[in-house]
Amino acid sequence: MKFGTAGKAIALLLSVAILAAAFLAWKSGQDRDVRPSAQIEDYLFWQAKALSDFQLKRAGNGTLGLNDLSGKWTFLFFGYTHCPDICPVTLAVLGEVFRILDRTPDPASQTQGLFISVDPGRDTPESLAEYAAYFDKRFIGATGSVAQLDAISRQIGVFYTIQKPEAGRPADSYPVTHSSTIFLVDPQGRLYAKFPPPHDAQEVARAFQTIRAFHNERSGKRWLFF
Amino acid sequence: MAILLRSLLLLVPGLLALSAFAASGEVRVIDPWVQEAPPNAKVLAAYLEINNSGAKTQIVTAVGSPAFERVEIHRTIADRNMAGMELLKELTILPNSSIYMKPGGLHFMLIGARKRLRAGDMVPLNLTLKDGNTLAVSATVRAAKPGERPADHAKHGNHAH
């Protein structure tokens, strides 16, 4: 069989097209190389970190895993309910963030909060559900065994310590040291941003909107041009 | 002169109540409030400013409240990574200065509420000073949700009585 010049050209064009399509398919699975604005640079992880599955306990004998984070933005905070100051203050700030977002054209409907108690000795999934929902109905409370908590906290890169009660005080009055940072997990279940304290609701809401727009731009669908 | 007067009063046991009144000119609590917490919260926090307008250092050694089983003086220690709490034995207020107890820092930890407290409720707090005087103040419970905060946010000057 013999190809003419036109036939060779068509074959070449076809090869190029197939290669380009393959490259596009490969590329669309990755983030585009878009620079974040300076306003959100400090909050973003240098590279979004895919979380591996974990299992925690939530109210109603339910479990909570990575699947429950997919398709939504999740604000994540580690704490405990016997915490009088930083935990309720931080959760109240997050509740306010949700209400600020609700007043924008792109509300927080696809956004949830996750409060993970690192104090399973005193916090039950049921008490956590009630505690978290007080700040916003979109907040989930969860906890787990030490092994389960370690599986998630190590991925996020946070530590916690159950301390001894002060001398002469009841055995159940121990303080817990925990992370003070609010983490943001993207709808693909990747650790995407972090907000260290002090937290200001206006600032977190503003930054989140910019991060969400940046995320859409970076992972947006590409067709002919990329 | 005020110090002399107070020393004289302290010598008279029958007038101890009056000595607390005398202290009110020097130590006062400004804008005490408690953040409303979830219904099942076991602990709450009270925030306030303590001002010492006198020439002597004042020390708060104990705090109590009939609305709670126990009150402790705490400080939240938080940096960009970790948060923890420290139990303090006392609070020192230098002459002519204030200490500010605010979210994320110094607070009175209120343990074991006798009943559910809601925004608008008042929480009595009794501060004991090292010199034997006491200050009775009333802290307002405020909603965590800023939109629901009572309008009297800026109300100041909760003197001892």
Enter the tokens of residue A47: 């590279």
Query: How wide is the angle at C-alpha B52 spanned by C-alphas B48 and B57, nearest 5°?
Result: 120
Tokens of B54: 């006198």
Indicate whether B42 belongs to any domain: yes
- Let me know if residue A97 belongs to a domain: yes
For residue B9, tell me if it sits in a domain.
Answer: no
A134 within domain boundaries: yes
- For residue B104, what are the contacts with CB-CB under 8 A and spacing of at least 6? A85, A86, A89, A197, A198, B76, B78
Kindly state whether B82 is in contact with chain A, defined as any CB-CB distance less than 8 angstroms: yes
CATH number at residue A153: 3.40.30.10
- B5: in domain: no
> How many folded domains does chain A comprise?
1
Interchain proximity A181–B81, CB inside 8 Å: yes
Whether A16 maps to a domain, the answer reads: no
> So what's the ipTM on this one?
0.78
Query: Does any domain span residue B35?
Result: yes
Question: For residue B117, is it within any domain?
Answer: yes
**Residue A17 falls inside a structural domain:** no
Cβ contacts of B84 on chain A, cutoff 8 Å: 161, 163, 175-178
Q: Do A92 and B35 touch (CB under 8 A)?
A: yes
Please give the single-letter amino acid code of residue A184: L
CB B74 within 8 A of CB B86: yes
For the segment B111-159, what is each residue's pLDDT rounded down to a tens digit?
A: 999 999 999 999 999 999 999 999 999 999 998 655 433 333 334 444 4
- Are residues A84 and B44, on separate chains, in Cβ contact within 8 Å? yes
Query: Domain for residue A195, yes or no?
Result: yes
Is residue A60 assigned to a domain? Answer: yes
Count of the separate structural domains present in chain B: 1
Domain that holds residue A200: 44-219
Assess if residue A36 is contained within a domain. no
Which phi and psi angles does B158 have, rounded to 5°?
A: -85, 85
What are A119-149's pLDDT values in tens digits?
999 999 999 999 999 999 999 999 999 999 9
Give a yes or no: residue B101 inside a domain.
Answer: yes
Query: Is B2 a domain residue?
Result: no
Any idea what the CATH number is for the domain that residue B127 is in?
2.60.40.1890
Q: Most confidently modeled of A12-26, A157-171, B16-30, B130-144?
A: B130-144
- This prediction has a pTM of 0.80
- Structural domain contains residue A162: yes
